[in-house]
């Protein structure tokens, strides 16, 4: 058991290796704390992805919530944004999504969702953690435990219909798109191909068989999407899309097979929202510090304010609700469109991208070529301890004192022709490093310098 005061929630939910960190005892105690937070007679909708641990975790969560006097509704296998949309639209008090999103297959996890369909904010996470460490439980008497689990079978169709109705269906249908979908052998395979067919697209699928052993890593990266890239080129498709494990992300592959970073595709979607959809009030976007400065370079020309936040969709979504924004996003492919919902939604991002291409009558490759060209390197190193992170940050700030520095999450340094970010992962014991420059030589030189500094300080 974790020591009192230890954090359970990371960047987005509670995650760990199945049957190692996430044991049945741990899940029981956590589900009890979640049930205690929502309270007796609350209505919670439970969904899961297809990971190896999700099935047994699902049963433990359901049973424990029932023992807390919670009214439990079971959505089964669903993408996270589908569960969130249903919770918001159907008046549930909240829900639990059992998923580890993009983490390796051996991981599983839980996301706690409030009645507005958004993941619980940090203060709620801390409250649940306190109940966990204190072992809180309502333990209602037997006579109050008469609730049965109710199956909810229309979550997927309800979600698909909502996405399709959000865009110009006839315009997209008339464009005759050919799309390749990589479903990561998980729940996005249940919704995205069907949504595309309802939009009149010709669909080719990869990795859409539901399995707890995926054919590729759950995180959609250039390294893991070689098959998708080749399929788009060989089939002469207009676009490819890849999801992570729970389908709240969408990474696009253009018509010439290039994997497009999520912040680049997000900039295109923001331009579409501004110029074509006219959903531009307020003219503000919120994004994590891990996104490229291309965001500012392009969108400030449209009079859009850019707010940098900590990494994590929870932070971005809650900041959007607080300040108001036309969109929010992360460089990992998570895009949030408030008229639909304030959460990452891979299918919604794809529908908007097709609408953009149809409206502009442009190929995705040409649209991407119109953005500033930068060379990006993303890497990570093991992080055994966080004790020296503050010292590391001080060294970086001193070394790059003449540049613009953003310290909301790790250290982001913005120079004239480059930027970099050094921050600890919220889901894995690693230190993430992002380096971007106008030239490959400068980016690699800067990365080597950073590695040298990290090696000196962290040792």
List active site positions. Answer: 101
Please tell me if the domain spanning 262-369 has the same topology as the one spanning 375-458.
no
Q: How many CA atoms lie within 13 A of 346 on its CB side?
A: 35
Prediction pTM value? 0.93
Question: Mean pLDDT across the stretch 113-120?
Answer: 98
pLDDT at 371 over 50: yes
Q: Return the pLDDT at 5.
A: 56
Please report the pLDDT score of residue 36 as a whole number: 97
Whole-number average pLDDT of the chain: 95
Which is it for strands 178-182 and 202-206: parallel, antiparallel or unpaired? parallel
Minimal CA–CA distance to 315: which of 408, 221, 423? 408
Domain extents in the chain? 14-152, 158-256, 262-369, 375-458
Among the residue ranges 40-49, 252-261, 285-294, 382-391, the one predicted with the least confidence is 382-391
pLDDT digits (tens, 9 = 90+) for 403-458: 999 999 999 999 999 999 999 987 678 999 999 999 999 999 999 999 999 999 98
Give the number of C-alpha atoms closer than 13 A to the C-alpha of residue 399, restricted to the C-beta side: 18
pLDDT, one tens digit per residue, over 243-295 is 999 999 999 999 999 999 999 999 999 999 999 998 777 999 999 999 999 99
pLDDT in tens, 141-154: 887 787 889 999 99
Spatial distance between the Cα atoms of 433 and 378, rounded to a whole number of angstroms = 6
Q: State the DSSP string of 83-101.
A: HHHHHHHHT-SEEEEE--T
Whether the per-residue pLDDT at 218 is higher than 60: the answer is yes
Per-residue model confidence as pLDDT tens digits over 1-34: 454 557 899 888 999 999 999 999 999 999 999 9
Residue 73 is predicted with a pLDDT of 98
Superfamily of domain 262-369: Alpha-D-Glucose-1,6-Bisphosphate, subunit A, domain 3 (3.40.120.10)
Q: Per CATH, which fold does 375-458 belong to?
A: TATA-Binding Protein (3.30.310)
The pLDDT > 70 percentage for the chain reads: 99
Q: Which single residue is written with the structure tokens 């080719």?
A: 204
Q: What is the pLDDT of residue 147?
A: 83
| DSSP-based helix, strand, coil % in the chain, nearest 5 | 40, 25, 35
Q: For the domain 14-152, what is the CATH code?
A: 3.40.120.10
Using alpha carbons, select from 50, 30, 22 the residue that is nearest to residue 109. Answer: 22
Q: Mean per-residue pLDDT for 217-243? A: 97
**What's the topology of domain 158-256?**
Alpha-D-Glucose-1,6-Bisphosphate; Chain A, domain 3 (3.40.120)
Q: What is the pLDDT of residue 3?
A: 47
């Amino acid at each position: 058991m974790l020591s009192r005061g230890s954090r359970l929630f990371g960047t987005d939910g509670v995650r760990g290796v199945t049957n190692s960190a996430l044991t049945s005892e741990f899940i029981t105690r956590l589900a009890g704390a979640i049930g205690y937070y929502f309270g007796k007679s609350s209505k919670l909708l439970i969904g899961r992805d297809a990971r190896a641990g999700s099935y047994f975790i699902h049963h433990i969560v359901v049973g424990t919530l029932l023992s807390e006097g919670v009214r439990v509704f079971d959505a089964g296998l669903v993408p996270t944004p589908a569960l969130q949309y249903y919770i918001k639209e159907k008046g549930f008090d909240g829900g639990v999504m059992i998923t580890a999103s993009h983490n390796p297959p051996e991981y599983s996890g839980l996301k706690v969702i409030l009645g507005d369909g958004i993941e619980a904010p940090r203060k709620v996470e801390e409250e649940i953690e306190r109940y966990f460490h204190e072992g809180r439980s309502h333990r209602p008497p037997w006579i109050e435990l008469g609730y049965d689990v109710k199956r909810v079978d229309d979550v997927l169709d309800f979600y698909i219909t909502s996405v399709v109705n959000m865009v110009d269906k006839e315009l997209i249908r008339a464009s005759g798109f050919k799309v390749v979908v990589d479903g990561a052998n998980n729940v996005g395979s249940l919704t995205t191909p069907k949504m595309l067919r309802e939009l009149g697209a010709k669909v080719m699928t990869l990795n859409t068989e539901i399995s707890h052993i995926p054919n590729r890593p759950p995180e959609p990266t250039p390294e893991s999407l070689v098959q998708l890239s080749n399929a788009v080129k060989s089939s002469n498709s207009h676009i490819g899309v890849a999801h992570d494990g729970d389908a709240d992300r969408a990474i696009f592959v253009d018509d010439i097979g290039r994997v497009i970073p999520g912040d680049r595709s997000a900039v295109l979607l923001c331009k579409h929202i501004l110029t074509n959809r006219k959903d531009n009030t307020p003219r503000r976007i919120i994004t994590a510090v891990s996104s490229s400065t291309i965001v500012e370079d392009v969108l400030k020309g449209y009079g859009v304010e850019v707010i940098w936040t900590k990494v994590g969709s929870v932070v971005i979504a809650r900041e959007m609700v607080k300040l108001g924004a036309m969109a929010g996003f992360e460089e990992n492919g998570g895009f949030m469109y408030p008229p639909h919902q304030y959460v990452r939604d891979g299918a919604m991002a794809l529908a908007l991208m097709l609408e953009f291409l149809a409206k502009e009558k442009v190929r995705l490759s040409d649209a991407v070529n119109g953005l500033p060209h930068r060379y990006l390197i993303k890497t990570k190193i093991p992080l055994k301890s966080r004790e020296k992170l503050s010292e590391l940050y001080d060294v970086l700030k001193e070394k790059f004192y003449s540049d613009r520095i953003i310290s909301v999450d790790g250290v982001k340094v913005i120079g004239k022709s480059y930027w970099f970010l050094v921050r600890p992962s919220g889901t894995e014991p690693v230190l993430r490093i992002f380096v971007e420059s106008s030239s490959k030589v400068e980016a690699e030189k800067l990365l080597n310098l950073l590695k040298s500094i990290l090696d000196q300080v962290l040792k």
